[in-house]
Structure 1
């Protein structure tokens, strides 16, 4: 098999994952605000809201305004999660709660790096393969990668909120490839989503690699 020029990777669910579950973290921080919620119910509600949400893409927004739109996108997800769980009325100040929650997920605290990641990244770098991230996460990815000591492994980071397109859209893969001046047939993309990562990559002519976490 011919060695790729570039290997792109998804971020959440591929490089790093959530400690426990999103529902558990929502529940823990809500408890600090006097709100007691069932973690499993919150996790189910969160997954439902994520699936129903429009992509986090802001194609007509000025670059300096993107972080605010990211914040508002996640605010809607979180509020709908607690509404679906039937406990939104318990909050005296949901806005302050959400601000703390949002900041928390921008740190390394709620995340863990999968055990096979560092050895794989190190091996590829030693072989001279360029590495990039293609993710539907938001701009907090930069602080998360830094906190998890992953940032320096990557030559490029391409995220949906900044390019106005989310995986599996061909546009986000095309932008990532252009950063490396790399034709699609010389690149791999590794991810945990069959639709967003595997099929998205294959649609543009890259080799898609599906990872099962």
Structure 2
């Protein structure tokens, strides 16, 4: 059995996921403003706008004087511009509405097994924290989704100033948890940013791989979670 004291968690697509694709949510907001745009086009435009913004202003522009709110407002506006919407007044209204909407539980759902697994981990006496490449809305989202109470600390890349796979965000978690790396494990769905990055600082880690995802041959089977509910059994076997 692994002698773990601290478990750190990724959030998006590990504990929470979007209720509907971004393109569909954006298209619904556009319809509410009397603008017709296809969800598929908005989905493609969002990926393009988000990718460009992430390259030019990494980690929500934190090192370049942007607020994450402004960063996201710019992404939303550019998404609609790429899809042919150019009315500045409408763009501003939609961007502000969507920024606030994505802070609420109406746009997020808890993944199967998350509530039960987190509760069981707390009952076993594990200290728990969040390590996420998210902006400062995360704490409120976790509260609205009734998950916040499981965690002793929430580390977002915006607050810390380092984004996974940078090991410094994990090192801060270890300091907050007052544990050595070998006493901690990280759980997430991304091979590079979660699984590999945590191991690079000496932590244990488990990769959540939902059905349909590609296999990562570098990950031993005993480190793979086909569902969150498998976590405690893997820890006890480790």
Using the alignment, how far apart are the partners of 1:163 and 1:60 within structure 2?
A: 15
State which structure, 1 or 2, has the greater radius of gyration over its C-alpha atoms. Answer: 2
The answer to whether the 8 A contact 2:80-2:91 is kept is: no
Going from structure 1 to structure 2, the CA distance change for 1:48 and 1:209 (only over 3 Å counts) comes to farther
Give, in whole Å, the separation in 1 of the partners of 2:63 and 2:144: 28
Distance across 1 between alignment mates of 2:8 and 2:47: 25
In structure 1, the partner of 2:120 is 123
Deviation per residue, 1:67-89 (Å, 9 max, x gap): x701111122212222333x222
Q: Work out whether 1:163 is the aligned partner of 2:167.
A: no
Aligned to 1:178, the other structure's residue is in SS state helix
The answer as to whether partners of 1:56 and 1:136 remain within 8 angstroms in 2 is no
Unmatched segments (≥5 aa) in structure 1: 62-67
Counterpart position of 1:139: 136
Q: 1:142 & 1:55 partners in 2: Cα distance?
A: 17
Q: How many residues align?
A: 206
Alignment correspondent of 2:109: 112
| Bigger relative contact order (CA 8 A; separation at least 6) | 1
Q: Which runs of 5+ in 2 are unaligned?
A: 211-238
Contact 1:46 1:77 in 2 (8 A): yes
Q: Which residue of 1 aligns with 2:62?
A: 58
Instruction: Kindly state the Cα deviation for residue 23 of structure 1 after the two structures are TM-superposed.
Output: 1.2
CA distance in 1, matches of 2:74, 2:126: 39
Report the Cα distance in structure 1 between the residues aligned to 2:60 and 2:161, rounded to whole angstroms. Answer: 8
Paired with 1:125 and 1:55, the residues of 2 have a C-alpha distance of 30
Q: Of residues 61, 67, 84 in structure 2, which corresponds to 1:69?
A: 67
Structure 1 runs of 4+ with >4 Å offset: none
TM-score by length of 1: 0.90
For residue 153 of structure 1, the aligned residue among 130, 150, 153 is 150
* Partners of 2:68 and 2:12 in 1: CA distance: 16
Deviation at 1:57?
A: 5.5
The reply on whether 1:6 has 2:10 as its aligned counterpart is no
**Separation in structure 2 between the aligned mates of residue 31 and residue 128 of structure 1, nearest angstrom:** 48
* Counterpart residue number, 1:43: 43
Displacement after TM superposition at 1:49 (Å): 3.0
TM-score by length of 2: 0.81
Root-mean-square deviation over aligned CA pairs: 1.7
**Matched residues in 1 for 2:129 and 2:202: separation?**
17
Cα 1:112/1:41, change in 2 over 3 Å: same
1:174 shift after superposition: 0.9
Residues in 2 aligned to 1:130 and 1:93: alpha-carbon distance in whole angstroms: 46
Q: Does residue 1:212 correspond to 2:209, yes or no?
A: yes
Change in 2 beyond 3 A, CA 1:60/1:29: closer
